[in-house]
């Protein structure tokens, strides 16, 4: 929720600092790249040396980022605030994903969905907070949310205590490496990871067009005021949260490959229709896109964890990091494209990205092989 405040107040920052779409994209790129470059490194390190108390430390960086965002008076300081929030994300996600898996009771897909739906639900609330708190009170009101960050630090400290005790109970036991990776050649595993990376690219490049520029699209095409456009963004992000919770348990029951098929390629007809719809159908189609597309990530992440067992932190850091990196690059590239053409043209181009989902056909069926 706190990290979603950054893109949610883009219209305020654009007006206050006279930013163009390229600069808006650079803010997102700074946040996402900071998170994406650090996460795999942190995940690889914590696989070897778990750090239970990294969870509240990550939240501490987010707290500093919020305070910096509320007091920034220059574009470079906005980039610094975005970088601090990115560091917070990078420190938090690898270990928190491991904690979710430890607490799963074997239902790994469900655990990842519950974990991620917390983030997506918070993300959906961000635009409402921006519309009803930050917009009327101004940029400095972002500092009010530091109270929530402090509460998060307290809660995560308790989670870290449980995590440390759980690790101590496992002392003397060899780390579990149960999986199906041994049934496949190294080339097959590398190829599968490359395909998963392409699917992440498709999903997050498209989501970047909606998360960063949806309000501008609605304001430009349908002449909506900022507050109304933020409510539409809330509806889309709420659909993303709902879709996230569905992907994991469906993957546990029917197989993750099928979820990946449906969530990436299945959204293609709706993305193709979106740029040509009126306001009502734009809202309907964006909700459908959010529901279907969001179900992919938990299935992709658990699929990768099962493909390379025993490397939960590294895989989580790699895929969270790559996802954030693609979202950042997408925001920057699409912002530049919007400046050169129009925001409507951006949605016409991005509509074809889900076609990359056809690569899912080349993924091995882990459940059958297992």
**Homologous superfamily of domain range 5-369:** MFS general substrate transporter like domains (1.20.1250.20)
Average pLDDT over residues 87-105: 84
- Domain residues of the chain, as ranges? 5-369
Q: Give the pLDDT of residue 288.
A: 94
Contacts of 172 (CB under 8 A, 6+ apart): none
Q: For residue 176, name the pLDDT band (cuts at 50, 70, 90).
A: very low
Q: Which of 148, 153, 151, 154 is nearest to 133 (CA)?
A: 148
CA dist 312 → 50, 82, 209, 245 (Å): 11, 27, 30, 20
Contacts of 254 (CB under 8 A, 6+ apart): none
Q: Give the pLDDT of residue 95.
A: 83
Over residues 28-81, the pLDDT tens digits come to 888 877 877 788 888 778 777 777 788 899 899 989 988 888 887 888 888 998
Q: Give the pLDDT of residue 353.
A: 92
**Residue 84 pLDDT > 50:** yes
- Judged by average pLDDT, the poorest of 6-15, 269-278, 289-298, 299-308 is 6-15
Q: Give the pLDDT of residue 38.
A: 82
Over residues 316-367, the pLDDT tens digits come to 778 877 777 777 778 778 888 888 898 889 999 999 999 999 999 898 887 6
**Residue 175 pLDDT > 50:** no
Instruction: Please provide the average confidence, as pLDDT, over all residues in the chain.
Output: 82
> In angstroms, how far is CA 177 from the centroid of its own chain?
27
**Residue 275 pLDDT > 90:** yes
Average pLDDT over residues 79-87: 90
**Residue 312 pLDDT > 70:** yes
**Residue 155 pLDDT > 90:** yes
Q: For residue 135, name the pLDDT band (cuts at 50, 70, 90).
A: confident
Over residues 184-204, the pLDDT tens digits come to 788 888 899 999 999 988 888
Q: Give the pLDDT of residue 14.
A: 82
Q: Which residue has the higher pLDDT, 207 or 126?
A: 207
Q: Which residue has the higher pLDDT, 139 or 194?
A: 194
> Could you report how far apart the first and last alpha carbons of the chain are, in Å?
38
Q: Give the pLDDT of residue 183.
A: 64
**Residue 120 pLDDT > 70:** yes
Core vs surface per residue 216-242: b (16+ CB within 10 A) or e? bbbbebeebebbebbbbbbebbbbbbb
CA dist 121 → 115, 141, 169, 264 (Å): 10, 21, 33, 21
Q: Give the pLDDT of residue 244.
A: 79
Over residues 212-263, the pLDDT tens digits come to 788 889 998 999 998 888 889 888 888 887 887 777 777 777 778 888 888 8
**Residue 154 pLDDT > 90:** yes
Q: Give the pLDDT of residue 177.
A: 47
Q: Give the pLDDT of residue 281.
A: 95
């Amino acid at each position: 929720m706190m990290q979603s405040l950054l893109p949610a107040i883009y219209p305020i920052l654009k007006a206050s600092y006279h930013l163009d779409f390229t600069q808006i994209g650079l803010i997102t790129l700074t946040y996402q790249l900071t998170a994406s470059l650090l996460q795999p490194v942190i995940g690889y390190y914590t696989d070897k040396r778990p750090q239970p108390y990294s969870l509240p430390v990550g939240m501490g960086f987010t707290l500093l980022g919020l305070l910096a965002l509320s007091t920034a008076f220059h574009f470079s300081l906005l980039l610094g605030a975005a970088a601090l929030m990115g560091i917070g994300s990078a420190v938090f996600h690898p270990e928190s994903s491991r904690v979710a898996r430890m607490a799963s009771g074997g239902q790994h897909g469900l655990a990842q969905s519950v974990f991620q739906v917390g983030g997506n639900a918070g993300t959906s609330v961000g635009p409402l907070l921006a519309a009803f708190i930050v917009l009327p009170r101004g940029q400095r009101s972002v500092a009010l949310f530091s109270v929530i960050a402090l509460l998060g630090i307290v809660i995560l400290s308790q989670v870290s205590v449980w995590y440390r005790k759980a690790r101590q109970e496992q002392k003397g036991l060899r780390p579990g490496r149960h999986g199906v990776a041994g049934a496949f050649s190294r080339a097959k595993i590398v190829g599968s990871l490359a395909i998963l990376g392409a699917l992440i690219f498709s999903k997050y490049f498209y989501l970047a067009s909606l998360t960063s520029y949806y309000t501008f699209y609605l304001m430009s095409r349908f002449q909506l005021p900022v507050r109304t456009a933020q409510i539409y963004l809330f509806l889309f992000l709420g659909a993303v949260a709902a879709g996230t919770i569905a992907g994991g348990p469906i993957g546990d029951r029917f197989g993750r490959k099928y979820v990946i098929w449906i969530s990436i390629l299945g959204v293609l007809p709706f993305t193709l229709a979106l740029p040509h719809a009126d306001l009502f159908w734009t809202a309907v189609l964006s909700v459908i896109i959010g529901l279907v597309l969001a179900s992919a990530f938990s299935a992709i992440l658990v699929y990768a964890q099962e493909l390379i067992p025993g490397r939960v932190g590294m895989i989580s850091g790699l895929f969270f990091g790559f996802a954030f990196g693609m979202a950042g690059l997408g925001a920057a590239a699409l912002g530049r494209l919007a400046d050169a053409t129009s925001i409507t043209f951006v949605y016409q181009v991005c509509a074809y990205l889900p076609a990359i989902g056809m690569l899912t056909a080349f993924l091995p069926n882990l459940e059958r092989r297992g």
